[in-house]
Structure 1
Amino acid sequence: MTKTLNWQADTDYVALVDDLLATDDVQRLADYPQHHFSNRLEHSLHVSYRSYLIAKQLHLDTRATARGGLLHDLFYYDWRVTKFNLGTHAYVHPRVALRNAEKLTTLTKKEQDIIIKHMWGATLAPPRYLESWIVSLVDDYCAMDEFVIPETRKMGRSMKARVALLMAK
């Protein structure tokens, strides 16, 4: 990650999501890789907290943003392995996450929209609320931050090692 987030120290944020974080359903997300360099729980927390900070700055619904952001990827399979006949992972997993989230807690219409529309761009239905737009865009940012940046650093180190090897010859 380019910047370590200290969401645990933000008591206002924690108060919004602590009931969800206390569940085995959310904690199980730590068992699933996400974007190669993080797990799904870390990713969901990054999306949730970054989205919450933006919503707070814009005086939007921070509760729906934080909770919807945390639950947006509440599914328990490796999307690189498991395939569905119902459509692409981008289409299916928000619906699976919504179903799982509805079993866990009562969701507002805004939280439902955040979860189901967070893949906008890869799916057709646009978000209905500003909070949904925020989570969708932050999710894209976090995916880049969690995969592209570490991969680029890894490739850079690899390139430096190859150049050093060539120079040593």
Structure 2
Amino acid sequence: MKLSNAEMQEIDTILEKYCNTKEALSMKNFCQHGSVSTYKHVMYVTRVCYYLNKHFGLGADVKSLVVGAFLHDFYLYDWHEKDDSHKWHGFSHAHTALLNADARFALTDKERDIIAHHMWPLNLTKLPRCREALLVCLVDKYCSTVETLTMRSAESAF
């Protein structure tokens, strides 16, 4: 999977007001899977979602897809640190990410759905309600698996 310069530019343009905030940049300091930072993980998920939507004609709203994918893990802490508040990270971080993103940005309903429901089926009652949310949910599982098994980012594919 390779994105063209124009496709990378479209993603960068959409994320311009999100990815350079102090909070977003702090995700570079948090470990996600293996040696992959949360920032690299969300960028990887964003690019894979964009690629699949564009090249397979999935019909997702590009802006909502890109923003939701970037903010899906906007929980702003290192879940590997020993802290009782991180104990149930898998079940709770989507809600924390949504609260953080909603407090800082004007989100659409689709963007909220993407963030809130990306951990289905672990969170059984949080079923994705739109194609964008389902796509991020599935791609997040793929990217997380690759990152965990290889202990590094597969972002170099882009």
- Normalising TM by the smaller chain, what interval? 0.7 to 0.9
Name the structure 2 match of 1:23.
21
User: Aligned partners of 2:104, 2:6: CA distance in 1, in Å?
Assistant: 22
Name the structure 2 match of 1:131.
132
User: Aligned partners of 2:6, 2:25: CA distance in 1, in Å?
Assistant: 15
| Stretch deviating more after TM superposition (5-14 or 122-131) | 5-14
The Cα of 1:8 is off from its aligned counterpart by: 9.0
Q: Report the residue type matching 2:85 in the other structure.
A: F
Is the contact between residue 118 and residue 139 of structure 1 (CA under 8 Å) also seen in structure 2? yes
Name the structure 1 match of 2:103.
103
Q: Secondary structure at the match of 2:23?
A: helix
What whole-Å deviation, never above 9, does each CA across 1:50-108 have from its counterpart, x for those lacking one? 112222332211111110010011112222323339x8212211111011101221011
Over the matched positions of the two proteins, sequence identity in percent amounts to 30
Is the contact between residue 51 and residue 65 of structure 1 (CA under 8 Å) also seen in structure 2? yes
Q: Report the residue type matching 1:126 in the other structure.
A: L
Counterpart check, 1:49 vs 2:36: no
The Cα of 1:37 is off from its aligned counterpart by: 2.0
User: Aligned partners of 1:45, 1:24: CA distance in 2, in Å?
Assistant: 16
Q: Are the structure 2 counterparts of residues 26 and 12 from structure 1 closer, same or farther at C-alpha, using a change threshold of 3 Å?
A: same
TM-score by length of 2: 0.84
Is the contact between residue 8 and residue 14 of structure 1 (CA under 8 Å) also seen in structure 2? no
Is the contact between residue 65 and residue 131 of structure 1 (CA under 8 Å) also seen in structure 2? yes
TM-score by length of 1: 0.79
- Structure 2 unaligned runs (5+)? 153-158
| Stretch deviating more after TM superposition (40-49 or 52-61) | 52-61
Name the structure 1 match of 2:84.
83
Is the contact between residue 33 and residue 151 of structure 2 (CA under 8 Å) also seen in structure 1? no
Is the contact between residue 72 and residue 118 of structure 1 (CA under 8 Å) also seen in structure 2? yes
Tell which structure's C-alpha radius of gyration is larger. 1
Q: Secondary structure at the match of 1:59?
A: coil
Is the contact between residue 33 and residue 78 of structure 1 (CA under 8 Å) also seen in structure 2? yes
Q: Secondary structure at the match of 1:10?
A: helix
The Cα of 1:121 is off from its aligned counterpart by: 1.2
- Structure 1 unaligned runs (5+)? 152-169
| Bigger relative CO (Cα 8 Å, ≥ 6 apart) | 2
User: Aligned partners of 1:129, 1:135: CA distance in 2, in Å?
Assistant: 10
User: Aligned partners of 2:109, 2:5: CA distance in 1, in Å?
Assistant: 25
Name the structure 2 match of 1:120.
120
